[in-house]
Amino acid sequence: MKPLARPANPCFSSGPCAKRPGWSLEALHDACLGRSHRSKAGKAKLKEVIDRTRAILGVPADYRIGIVPGSDTGAVELALWSLLGARGVDCLAWESFGEGWITDAVKQLKLKDVRTLRADYGALPDLTQVDPARDVVFTWNGTTSGVRVPNGDWIKDDREGLAICDATSAAYAMDLAWKKLDVVTWSWQKVLGGEAAHGMLVLSPRAAARAASYVPPWPLPKLFRLNSKGKFNEAIFVGETINTPSMLCVEDAIDGLKWAERVGGLKGLMARSEANLAAIAQWVERTPWIDFLARDPRTRSCTSVCLAITDEWFRRLDETAQRAAVKQLETLLDVEGVAHDIAGHRDAPPGLRIWAGATVERADVEALLPWLDWAYGEIRRVAAA
């Protein structure tokens, strides 16, 4: 039997993620359109994003916050290209985004002194192996495996290297340990339901000092340059972007930040996301065909919740058939208007991924869960026929 209730919002994609509850294009009516982003009005909007970001996330006063091109990927690569190579680096990967940053370090930058610490989907590498004398590059929340670091305790306060953290699916939903981090990046398209294309780049004083003094041996495109005329370009960190931003996206980011304030700031956002995870966890607990991909409950993501189908029938299929079954389930729910885009990432083991970030309502998650049981029953029934 099909469940009676449907989620009010079927958007469960892990990026771009659901817009905030109540969002409409009307939210953008005050956008600074048709004006220069370097006009007083334009710069004020960009600065507003920076100031609201600092306030909501509790970014320390001496850390710089900039808006850069290229979404989260742009922000991470700007950091890697500008900062790496000054000392050895430990690169951590437990899913495809961390793997991507290893490719940058090893194959593109061809760094001589890289250590890679890897784990399979569902696990974390041994964080105690990270050497504080070296830089470290890692992803706070592995979006494609649904595994997050439980905290920043494994990063030493007196480290010599820089801790470079891709926090795109963690920022606004998890407690980032700022004093343990030197470079933090994310994009607007995740937990606040903003638009892609722009990245946020946060630098600790030590990261800014590295950027100002270190000249990497490779050429830097203009889009990645933190220095201008031989000097550190402080202007980037008050809203003078390297190139032209979309003021429509900027307005949307401001809208997301104002909403974040209305729901109780970071604490409120984290509580919303954790409540969504809890709803899913209760269902997983009582549902025999599914389990979390993350093995250790302390590492389960509260944003990109990745689930493995553990049912005997499914496990006996080969990978191609498993992916086809997941696709079938996803399509059933898509056609019903119940859930969009909930298949796991193409690089992850076949399974489901449900975005549970702060813009998703717990009531919608709760309404979705019986539909998952229904859809799984349907694909089993069709397979048996």
Ligand X SMILES: Cc1ncc(COP(=O)(O)O)c(C=O)c1O
> Contact positions toward ligand X, by CB under 6 A?
15, 71-73, 97, 139, 143, 166, 168-169, 187, 189, 196
Q: Measuring CA to CA, how many Å separate 70 from each of 64, 200, 223, 349?
A: 18, 10, 9, 28
Q: Output 197 or 212, the one with its CB closest to ligand X.
A: 197
Could you tell me where the DSSP H helices lie in 263-348? Answer: 265-286, 312-315, 319-335
Please say whether the beta carbons of 233 and 221 come within 8 A.
Answer: no
Q: Output 247 or 249, the one with its CB closest to ligand X.
A: 249
Q: Output 200 or 332, the one with its CB closest to ligand X.
A: 200
CB of 308 to ligand X, least distance (A): 19
- In sign, the C-alpha dihedral spanning 374, 379, 383, 385 is positive
CB of 195 to ligand X, least distance (A): 10
CB of 345 to ligand X, least distance (A): 8
Please say whether the beta carbons of 275 and 364 come within 8 A.
Answer: no
| Lookup: tokens for 109 | 């930058």
Q: How far apart are the first and last CA of the chain?
A: 17
Compute the distance between CA of residue 246 and CA of residue 339 in angstroms, rounded to an integer: 29
Q: Output 196 or 281, the one with its CB closest to ligand X.
A: 196
CB of 147 to ligand X, least distance (A): 11
CB of 80 to ligand X, least distance (A): 12
Q: Which residues of 44-53 are buried (b: 16+ CB within 10 A; e: fewer)?
A: ebbebbbebb
CB of 296 to ligand X, least distance (A): 19
Q: Measuring CA to CA, how many Å separate 194 from each of 181, 250, 256, 355?
A: 24, 9, 7, 14
Compute the distance between CA of residue 241 and CA of residue 211 in angstroms, rounded to an integer: 17
Q: Output 20 or 353, the one with its CB closest to ligand X.
A: 353
Q: Output 72 or 255, the one with its CB closest to ligand X.
A: 72
